[in-house]
Amino acid sequence: MLPLTSAVFGLDVATRAVSLGAALRPDFPTLHQKVWGKPLVYLDSAATSQKPTSVLEAMQRHQELDNANVHRGAHLLSVRSTDAYEGARDKLAGFVNANTRSEIIFTRGATEAINLVAQSWGRANLRDGDEVLLTVMEHHSNLVPWQLLAEEKGCVLKFAPLDADQCLDVEALKALITPQTKLVGLPHVSNTLGCVNPIAEVAAAAHAAGALCMVDACQSLPHMPVDVQALGCDFLVASGHKMCGPTGVGFLWGRLALLEQMPPWQGGGEMIRDVYLQSSTFAPPPNRFEAGTPAITQAIGLGAAVDYLAKLGMDNVHAYEEQLGEHLWRRMSEVPGLALYGPDPTQGHRRAALVAFNHEEVHPSDLATFLDQDGVAVRAGHHCTQPLHRELGISHSARASLYIYNTEEEVDAFVEALGATLDMFASMESASIFD
């Protein structure tokens, strides 16, 4: 159960923002442990978020009491399982303000959702010489599927660059749109730079040229209000495990008129209307794109995660994370020798509560390994954005990413541990010189 009563929601917005992270921590059992004898400071939510007890209990309850396959079962367990599974679809539809529940397609995650669009809409509509416009900040999941399709269909991939503030260069993107452009795809929030892209403006530019717009919302949907109608996009994808839900489930939202025109991607049970030995007819969306037995328990868990976030209020989540993210940036800016990537929030730029960074002397993997010894969990690598890292002139970076359950005290503990780690490396280097 949520511990949030008038103790949090009765406060003014500024005070509430300070209180939110501490108020939510009892809901997340994973956070209450020690790592190498130190209290866990989990700063890797951009890779996967922790799950509240309400999500864990919803999944366990389904497995213990309602475990049965969905749809067409006449017995009570199947009815309850179906109601919970389809109820999760209703919750997601409301969460993103879809026009109809039929616009929500359950997938294994955002990666599968993008592949669905590429292999269904893309394969049916793209021809030799057509253009797909992406950005240099794409996650590999919104790059590799289009590369594979381009090799097959002969379509052309184009990429919008960064501006001087390491944000999307929107004017350059618009200039790259031509009559041959059929799809513009981009992240709502970069998982490395943290910049928030102006989706409504990009979607309008795409539509003016007769192109569609697809949004990777993995780093926005868990952190801010997302309204697909206000954004004006045509497709939107997200993963459950980044928004307090389980792994192995995500969804595609698509405009119903588009989904109705798209052919099936995978064949099997559930996605059919009638099957004959030589041919089949297919169900309407969403069933057309959900072949076989779905990830029932995971979808129910995702529905519970939506309940959790909706009860918090995404405006509250966003306000808290903006404040916490700016505190993270300010504290990291105080550490000598660090390069921080993405726009500076202290200069009025919107950005997510994550910071990718490098030190001038210490490799990011070494930093992450030694921070772990202090109980601090950060990520090191290319964050599935190798082309972006090459654009920045680096091969890897470390990344600290926050969520609703983090606090300013944890940010301070991270920066203190980071400083101690850098001091240790400096001492080792100094000792090696004099040896």
Q: Is-contact 142 169, C-beta < 8 A?
A: no
Catalytic residue among 155, 167, 195, 384: 384
**Rounded distance between C-alpha atoms, residue 422 and residue 429, angstroms:** 11
Whether residue 263 is preceded by a cis peptide bond, meaning omega within 30 degrees of 0, is no
- 28 to 4, 18, 144, 352, 425: CA distances (angstroms): 14, 18, 34, 21, 34
**Rounded distance between C-alpha atoms, residue 398 and residue 363, angstroms:** 9
Q: Which of 197, 200, 177, 180 is nearest to 189 (CA)?
A: 197
**Rounded distance between C-alpha atoms, residue 342 and residue 338, angstroms:** 13
Contact residues for 61 (Cβ-Cβ < 8 A; gap 6+): none
Residue type at position 37: G
Please say if 384 is a catalytic residue: yes
Question: Pairing between strand 235-239 and 212-216?
Answer: parallel
**Which residues does the annotation mark as catalytic?**
384
